[in-house]
Structure formats: structure tokens, C-alpha cells
A and B are shown apart, each in its own frame.
Chain A
Amino acid sequence: MLTIHNLHRSFGTLPVLRGIDLTLNEAEIICLLGPSGCGKTTLLRIIAGLETADVGDVRIDGVSIKDTPVHERGFGLMFQDFALFPHLDVADNVAFGLKMRHVAANEQQRRVAEALERVNLSGFDKRSIATLSGGERQRVALARSLAPQPRLLMLDEPLGSLDAALRDELIVDLRAIIKNAGLTTLYVTHDQRESFAIADRIAVMNAGKIEQIDTPTVIYQKPATEFVARFLGLQNIVPVIEYANDKASTPLGVLPAPTLTGSLLLHPDGLRLVKPGESELTVEVEESIFQGSSYRVRVRHASGTRLTLSVSAATGAWATVGTSAALQIDPSAVTTLGDAANLPNKNGQS
């Protein structure tokens, strides 16, 4: 439905977007995930028409909208701080987009009521914006974006200004509401948990480029690059010294690796801490933090490599700091990271 083709944008000499290609399918929720400054908000604003691209094109059903002014694009955008109109009450805020599109008055009323019902704010019509709580404002902003039934809904960190507990609760509602309305959606966030909860597909952005685009499961299980892995909090990355015959030799020993790579990710879910002797890979427990149902344990290998894993609270009490232990690595936990840089010599003549 929406295609973005080779988008570039610089602010002065600083490149913010460096060749973005992205396609959104009808009724799909795509999440742009990345650290602040990666260009995700700029990308959103270019699609909305609030900024212009230096190079590249944005198309809707194959038609370029590059020269369409913001107000004629028929998109919805929800701002991080909601940008509700302080001089209008709840109903008039929600009706604003309808009024601008010359929707008849009775139709306006019907759709405002419908949008407010969708976000569970029926009866708030005449309330002033100043009297609303943060969560209520968020929902008014959502209703305002939904009411005109935009071709594309964009949300820029819509939960960013709310506290964590409220966020967890709202994100689930948010996905249900958007799916119910059947809207094609672009969701911007820097919070991976939010993106996992809301997205059909996630596009992880770094320094003006999309590093990987895939479903949340694949992104988490098989991060494509070291950046994606580290951004998702997956820290167990070991360098590859030699590579031959689908085997990579690393400081931890030889590990399976289906393709030539510079580094491997050891997914914590596939690492098991066992008593010394139960595995050849001997380590020492360096840190153990009790987290309720589990311990977060950091171990150190003789080569100096450090790995982090989770140990069940029921069975892991023995692994105190300073204890010797061993590691079992499930072959499925080993993921090759596709960074082009630092590839080892294929013949092992490093």
C-alpha cells in the first residue's frame, strides 16, 4: 500500500536518513524501532509531509505523494505529547479532522461518538482537555487520529510520556483498537517491549538505515546484525577467529555456524548453566542478581569472554559468586550476525 523508495535526508551536513526502502501492506502494523537520533521520527515526518526528503519517493498504491501538501494526504498522526487543541473540548478535538474534511454535521457526531467508544471514552464529549489524565489524553489523541479513517495511521512514541505501568496496559488496548479499525499503521518507538507487543513487523533502524525488517519473533530469535542484537539487550556476542566447513572457532571453542560471519550471538534462552564437569565449557560465576522468578547470572570464561544468562530461581541457588560452573550451548541458540565488517579469513590463515 505504502512504498518508500531510497529516501535520503540530511540536516546541514549531518545525514539523518541514508537510503530507506520500506513497504507497508494493507492493514499491517509496522513498527520503526531504534535509538533516539536514528532517524525514525524524521522518516515518519517525511511520510506525513511535515518534512521533505532530499532524495527518494513516497508512494501510495504506486502514486507519488511527494508534492501533496500535508493537509491533503489524508493521514493520521498521533504525536508523542498528543498535541491536543487546548481551546477545544474532547468532542471538538475528535471532530476536528472531520470538520476540515467537510463531513456533514450529523455524520461528524456519529463518527465522533464511534471513535470515542472505540477508545472507551464515551461520555467524555464535553470534558475540557485540561481536566483529563495522561492516559485519557492519549486516548483522545488516538480517537482524533482514528475518526477521519485515515489511509495511514502514524504514531510517534504515543506512550512515551506515560509511566511504565500505564504503558504496559495501554499497548495491548492500542493494538486491539487499531486492528479493529483495520488501519495500515506505522508506529515509532525506541522501546523494544512496546514494539514486540504492537507490531506485525518491526523495522530496526540505526544511523539512518533499516538494519532488519521482520516479525517480532524472528527479530528476537535471529537478529541480523550485532547492532540489532545489542539493541534488543542480547549481549552474548563472541568474535569468530577462523571459519571453515560450517564451523567457527571462537574464544569459547568451535561452534556451529551455517554461514561465514564475523561474530556469533549466543542467545541466552539456549544457554544452560550446569555443575562443573557436566560440560567441557568451564566458567566462573562472576555476578548473580536475584530477579524474583530467576537469577540473572554473569559468567566468565577462561578466555576472558563474559556471557549473561538466566537461571531459574528454583534450581539456580547454588550458582553463587565465585563458584565454578559449566555451560551447555544449544546449537539453535547460535546465530550468525551478518555484519560485513571484520570477516575472518575463510581458510583460517588469520
Chain B
Amino acid sequence: MGRNGHSLIAVAWRVLRLAPIAFLAVFFVYPVLTIFGISLAPEGQLDLSGFARLVTSDYYVNTLLFTIWQAAISTILTLGLALPSAYVFSRFQFRGKALFLSLATLPFVLPTIVVAAAFSALIGPRGYVNAFLVTTFGLDAPPIQLERTLLLILIVHVFYNYAVALRIITTYWMNQNPRIEQAARVLGAHGWRLWWYVHLPLLRPAITAAGVLVFIFCFTSFGVVLLLGGPRYATLEVEIFRQARDLFNLPVAAALSIVQIGLMFAMMWVYTRLQRRISSEIVAAEASAQRPKTQRDRITITVTLAFMAVMLFTPLVALALVSVTLGFDGISFQHYQQLGSNPRGSVLFVPPLSAVGNSVAFAASSTALSIILGVVSSYLLLRNNRWSRLLDAAFMLPLATSAVTLGFGFIVALDQPPLNLRQSALLIPVAHTLVAMPFVIRSILPALRAIPENLREAASVLGASPWRRWRWVELPLISRALLVGATYAFVISLGEFGASLFIARPDTPTLPIAIFRLLGQPGGSSYGQALALSTILLLVSAVAFILIERLRTPGARGEF
């Protein structure tokens, strides 16, 4: 093996395969350990006063309770809406079904800031609906006052997670034996009794898994609560941010982070177990979906699709619409034109449009970094041994640790010797890479696993050296998956909010940060520009979404 011909490649690989582990160690483990250090021993020796403040103060206990409570309500609402839809999607065959099911996942790639702006454009005080009501009925004030209410937070959580629940439950349901329902009907089950005694118990594993996942997403909700909730509402995430960034109360922020990490890991553990169970139960069953027969069936389908269309698309359409009409009688691109200038000077330090350039540069670097690390990691994970399973879990950790905690870890760990990267332009791509890596790996690994071993062997026998074998056989076979992974990385980086808010330098804001600052400014012009920037981001994300959906290998879609 140690022949001259491949010793160079062998050495290169031996170095390269350490890269993902080194990356995780420096940019994930080290910051998290620093957070632990700050919370447990801020002055060098053990000091639990940070934690003591958490448990003794009603404020922090209430924050935790609110976090749990809003996540629970959001989960129940999401499941309640997704379950009837799942029934329609698993029972009936109709035109556009696949398209709708795939479109429903669009919110998954939409940046928080875009969604927040979209809902603001739809039902905010200056939004489309209010403007319409005011002019139509000649009102003095906008009739819908949802800004900074819990209801708005819940609505947005449902918007985000509806498709997640829908997908999990529908997939599971479609794989159930349709004769079970038929048998129950013959035995006299009908109406609510059919649901209560047959459907719900049958679907319990899928409903539980979907519920836990949605709960996790809502529990870690940061951007939505920060942007739409106002100062009255704070989840743990938001509180970590406020304590660290606004109040510079690092021990409390660190203690909150640890509580958050602990709870998240516990929930992720539960979810992984549930998910493994429901995916192992999935067997290829006969297609049980039927064409709608009765008028009632057709109405049910129409209502479901209409609901989905209204919920998923009106905010996005409103965003685009208001961005070109706000403050004008007709359509005008003035807000877009203003993006290139910086009249106020103090708000952004730079013209908003330069944020687009920053974001694209960051996203390109994150994409390159996460593709290189993702490919190497995928090869490491390809070997199915104990080591690689451990590694697999390690690569998922940054996802389980919220972006805010990552960003917080970065500013406390990487701004002083031995590693001072505070001023480095690398910090943002590195953070985005941590967030994107699990998605990249989940895109590449199935494609890599799908390459039969004897294809590699055939290439070798035909005279291909290891390098040429990779170049001419393996790379072409994973190229689509690489493109999917790259698209994920790019769009995740473009929209990433939580970590960037901590680490973006004032003079090089990313697109979401620029939108965030503009939204916080008074005046219609800033608001219009925020909507314009959001629309640009929405379009880019939508294009990326279409690319992912079209390129994804059938059967290789990962649920997270």
C-alpha cells in the first residue's frame, strides 16, 4: 500500500480527514466549554452565583416557563392543523399533490427575518390588510393590532412548522395498511370514534415524533420572538441574547445557555429515538391513496389546499407587493433604488445594498468550507463502525445547540488569545458552516452510500488510480448531491440570523442583519427598504428551494 504512486494521496487524506474533527473541536467544543467556564467559574474559581440568580429570580423562571408554554401551544396548534391536511394527503390522489407537498416545505428554507417581514407586510400596522381595511372603511387607525402579541408569534410558528408535521405524519400514514380503517368501519367505527379509537392510536408514533420536533423548533425560536414579540416576550434564546449583548451580563447568559443546551440535548435524544422507530416501521405498502369519490371529498381537498395556499403564500405575496407599493399610489421600485444609498449614515454605516455583497461573499465562503468539510466528513461516516456513529452524533451537535449559543460562544471564546478572531472576516463563514454542515452531510452521505462497492472495484480493475477513480466515478455520482448540499449551505448562510447578530461587525452587516436594523428604524422609507431587501432574500431563497427540490435524489430526503 505504501507505494510512491499513492503515498501523496494517502498522506493528504490522512491530514484532510482530521479537518472536520479539528474544526468541531476549535469552533464548537472550545466555545461551548468557554461558556461552561464563564457560568461555573467566572473569576477562575467555582462560583455558582449565575445559576443561583436563575433559580431564585422569578424573571428567569418565568422566561423558561414562557419558552415551554409558547412552544407547547405552537405545537398543539401546528399538529391540530397538520393532522386533517395529512389525512387529505395520505388518503386522496389528486392533481398537484406532489407539488403542494413539496411547496409546503418552502418555509423551511426561508430566513426568519424574511418571514417576520412578510407577516409584518401582511398584517402589521403598515401591512397590506390593515391598509386595505383603513382605506375601504375610512378608519382612523389600523384595525388589526397584532404587532407584539403572542398570537402573532404563534401564527408564525405554525407557518414555519406546519409542513414539518404534515410531511412526517403523511409519510407515516401512507404506509399504514388501508384495510385497518376499512375493518374498523365494518365493525361500526364512524366519525369521531374512528379518529379517537383508530386513526390517532395508529398514528401516535408519527404524531409524537412530529410534535417533539416542532416543539424543539419553537423552543429555540429566536428571530421570530425577538422581531415580532417586542420587549414583552422573551424565550430562553432571546434572553441569552439580551443578557449577553444588551446587558453584558455574561455569567447569567452563560448559565442560561447551559440550561438551554441541556434541555435541547435531552429533546434531541428523544426525537432521534422516536424518529428511528417510525422510520424502521415504514415498509413499502400498496398505494392506498384514492381519487376523491364524493362531493364531500372534493370539498375537503379544495378547502385543505386553499388553506395551505392562503397560509403559506399570502404573507410572501404581501411582502413582495408592499415592497413596491408602500407609500405610493401605484407600483414603484423606489425602495429598491434607495438600497444603494445611505442617506442617514448612522443607521447602517454602509448602504443597505452592500449587505447583499457581504452576504453573498460570506455565503460563498461558507458553502466552500462546508462542502469541503462535508465531503470529508461523509467519507468518514461512510464506514459504519462505532467511531463513525459517534462522529455522526458530533456533527449534529451544532444543530442541537442553538445558533444564538454558538454566536455567544464565539464572542466569549474567540475574541482573546490564544484565538483572537474577533476582527476576522472568517468568523461568520465559520459559524454558518457549523449550522449548515449537518444539512450538507445529510445530502451527500445517502448519495455516497448508494454507490455500489463493485463500481469502485470495477474502476480500479480498469486501471483507475484512487484519485482518478474518485474523479471519474465517485465525484460524478455524487455531483447532484453536492449541488443540493451546496445550495443548502448557501441559503442557510444567507438567511442565518441568530449567530450573525452576535458576531457580525457593524461595518459588514449581513443581509438579515441589515434588514433587522432597518426594521428597527422609524420612518416609512426604512421600512420600505427593509421589505425590499427581504423580498430580494425571499427570491434567492425560493430559487434555492426550487433547485434543491428538483435535484434531490428521490428517497434521499432527510427529515431533521
- A residues with CB within 8 A of B: 48-50, 67, 69-77, 79, 81, 83, 85-87, 96-97, 99-101, 144, 148
User: Complex: how many Å from CA A158 to CA B462?
Assistant: 17
Per-residue CB contact flags for chain B residues 452-465 toward chain A (1 = under 8 Å, else 0) read: 10110111111111
| Interfacial chain A residues near B473, Cβ < 8 Å | 85, 87
User: Complex: how many Å from CA A99 to CA B462?
Assistant: 9
Question: Is B454 in contact with A83, judged by CB distance below 8 angstroms?
Answer: yes
- B6 partner, pick from A69, A87, A96, beta carbons under 8 A: A69
Known: A70-B457, A85-B473. 20 other contacts (CB 8 A): A48-B457, A49-B461, A69-B5, A69-B6, A71-B462, A71-B465, A72-B5, A73-B461, A74-B463, A76-B461, A76-B462, A79-B458, A87-B476, A96-B462, A96-B464, A97-B462, A97-B463, A99-B472, A100-B465, A148-B463
Please, which residue of chain B has its CB at the minimum distance from the CB of A97?
B462
Interface presence of B477 (CB below 8 A)? yes
- B477 partner, pick from A69, A71, A83, A86, beta carbons under 8 A: A86
User: Complex: how many Å from CA A144 to CA B452?
Assistant: 18
| Interfacial chain B residues near A72, Cβ < 8 Å | 5, 463
Interface presence of B468 (CB below 8 A)? yes
Question: Is A79 in contact with B462, judged by CB distance below 8 angstroms?
Answer: no
Interface presence of B3 (CB below 8 A)? yes
Please, which residue of chain A has its CB at the minimum distance from the CB of B457?
A50
Supposing A79-B457, A83-B454 touch, asked if A100 and B462 sit within 8 A by C-beta, the answer is yes
Question: Is B461 in contact with A71, judged by CB distance below 8 angstroms?
Answer: yes
| Interfacial chain A residues near B5, Cβ < 8 Å | 69, 72
CB distance from B556 to the nearest CB of A (A): 15
Question: Is A77 in contact with B477, judged by CB distance below 8 angstroms?
Answer: no
Please, which residue of chain B has its CB at the minimum distance from the CB of A80?
B454
User: Complex: how many Å from CA A50 to CA B461?
Assistant: 8
- B472 partner, pick from A76, A81, A83, A96, beta carbons under 8 A: A96
| Interfacial chain B residues near A50, Cβ < 8 Å | 457, 460-461
| Interfacial chain A residues near B452, Cβ < 8 Å | 81, 83
Per-residue CB contact flags for chain B residues 426-468 toward chain A (1 = under 8 Å, else 0) read: 0000000000000000000000000010110111111111101
Supposing A96-B472, A100-B468 touch, asked if A71 and B454 sit within 8 A by C-beta, the answer is no
Question: Is A71 in contact with B3, judged by CB distance below 8 angstroms?
Answer: no
CB distance from B4 to the nearest CB of A (A): 11
CB distance from A104 to the nearest CB of B (A): 15
Question: Is B454 in contact with A79, judged by CB distance below 8 angstroms?
Answer: yes
Per-residue CB contact flags for chain B residues 1-38 toward chain A (1 = under 8 Å, else 0) read: 10101100000000000000000000000000000000
CB distance from A162 to the nearest CB of B (A): 17
Of B3, B458, B466, the most chain A CB neighbours within 10 A belong to B458
CB distance from B48 to the nearest CB of A (A): 53
Supposing A85-B473, A86-B477, A100-B468 touch, asked if A70 and B460 sit within 8 A by C-beta, the answer is yes
Question: Is A77 in contact with B458, judged by CB distance below 8 angstroms?
Answer: yes
Question: Is B461 in contact with A75, judged by CB distance below 8 angstroms?
Answer: yes
Which 6 A-B residue pairings sit nearest by Cβ, starting from the closest? A97-B462, A100-B463, A83-B458, A70-B460, A83-B454, A77-B461
User: Complex: how many Å from CA A15 to CA B464?
Assistant: 31
Question: Is A83 in contact with B455, judged by CB distance below 8 angstroms?
Answer: yes
Question: Is B477 in contact with A96, judged by CB distance below 8 angstroms?
Answer: no
Please, which residue of chain A has its CB at the minimum distance from the CB of B477?
A87
| Interfacial chain B residues near A101, Cβ < 8 Å | 463
| Interfacial chain B residues near A69, Cβ < 8 Å | 1, 3, 5-6, 460, 465
Please, which residue of chain B has its CB at the minimum distance from the CB of A74?
B463
Please, which residue of chain A has its CB at the minimum distance from the CB of B463?
A100
Question: Is A70 in contact with B476, judged by CB distance below 8 angstroms?
Answer: no
Per-residue CB contact flags for chain B residues 393-405 toward chain A (1 = under 8 Å, else 0) read: 0000000000000
Question: Is A71 in contact with B460, judged by CB distance below 8 angstroms?
Answer: yes
CB distance from B338 to the nearest CB of A (A): 48
| Interfacial chain A residues near B6, Cβ < 8 Å | 69
Please, which residue of chain A has its CB at the minimum distance from the CB of B456?
A83
| Interfacial chain B residues near A144, Cβ < 8 Å | 462
Question: Is A71 in contact with B464, judged by CB distance below 8 angstroms?
Answer: yes
- B455 partner, pick from A73, A85, A97, A99, beta carbons under 8 A: A85
Please, which residue of chain B has its CB at the minimum distance from the CB of A100?
B463
CB distance from B553 to the nearest CB of A (A): 12
Please, which residue of chain A has its CB at the minimum distance from the CB of B5?
A69
B window 497-514: CB within 8 A of A:
none
CB distance from B456 to the nearest CB of A (A): 9
Per-residue CB contact flags for chain B residues 253-291 toward chain A (1 = under 8 Å, else 0) read: 000000000000000000000000000000000000000
CB distance from A281 to the nearest CB of B (A): 53
User: Complex: how many Å from CA A202 to CA B460?
Assistant: 28
User: Complex: how many Å from CA A58 to CA B560?
Assistant: 51
Supposing A69-B3, A69-B6, A96-B472 touch, asked if A83 and B463 sit within 8 A by C-beta, the answer is no
User: Complex: how many Å from CA A48 to CA B457?
Assistant: 10
CB distance from A208 to the nearest CB of B (A): 22
Question: Is A148 in contact with B462, judged by CB distance below 8 angstroms?
Answer: yes
Supposing A83-B452, A85-B473, A96-B472 touch, asked if A71 and B463 sit within 8 A by C-beta, the answer is yes
| Interfacial chain B residues near A100, Cβ < 8 Å | 459, 462-465, 468, 472
| Interfacial chain B residues near A99, Cβ < 8 Å | 472
CB distance from A209 to the nearest CB of B (A): 26
| Interfacial chain A residues near B455, Cβ < 8 Å | 83, 85
CB distance from A8 to the nearest CB of B (A): 20
User: Complex: how many Å from CA A101 to CA B472?
Assistant: 13
| Interfacial chain A residues near B468, Cβ < 8 Å | 100
Please, which residue of chain A has its CB at the minimum distance from the CB of B450?
A86
CB distance from B352 to the nearest CB of A (A): 44
User: Complex: how many Å from CA A78 to CA B74?
Assistant: 58
Question: Is A67 in contact with B458, judged by CB distance below 8 angstroms?
Answer: no
6 of the cross-chain contacts (CB-CB < 8 Å) are A49-B460, A50-B460, A69-B6, A70-B460, A83-B457, A101-B463
Please, which residue of chain B has its CB at the minimum distance from the CB of A96?
B462
CB distance from B213 to the nearest CB of A (A): 34
User: Complex: how many Å from CA A75 to CA B457?
Assistant: 12
- B3 partner, pick from A67, A79, A148, beta carbons under 8 A: A67
| Interfacial chain A residues near B457, Cβ < 8 Å | 48, 50, 70, 77, 79, 83
User: Complex: how many Å from CA A48 to CA B459?
Assistant: 12
User: Complex: how many Å from CA A119 to CA B270?
Assistant: 57
User: Complex: how many Å from CA A144 to CA B454?
Assistant: 14
CB distance from A83 to the nearest CB of B (A): 4
| Interfacial chain B residues near A148, Cβ < 8 Å | 462-463
User: Complex: how many Å from CA A70 to CA B473?
Assistant: 16
CB distance from A121 to the nearest CB of B (A): 18
User: Complex: how many Å from CA A79 to CA B472?
Assistant: 19
Please, which residue of chain B has its CB at the minimum distance from the CB of A67?
B3
CB distance from A129 to the nearest CB of B (A): 11
User: Complex: how many Å from CA A71 to CA B461?
Assistant: 5
Question: Is B461 in contact with A70, judged by CB distance below 8 angstroms?
Answer: yes
| Interfacial chain B residues near A85, Cβ < 8 Å | 455, 458-459, 473
| Interfacial chain A residues near B3, Cβ < 8 Å | 67, 69
Supposing A67-B3, A81-B454, A83-B454 touch, asked if A48 and B461 sit within 8 A by C-beta, the answer is yes
Per-residue CB contact flags for chain B residues 473-494 toward chain A (1 = under 8 Å, else 0) read: 1001100000000000000000
Of A83, A86, A148, the most chain B CB neighbours within 10 A belong to A83
Please, which residue of chain A has its CB at the minimum distance from the CB of B466?
A71
| Interfacial chain A residues near B458, Cβ < 8 Å | 77, 79, 83, 85
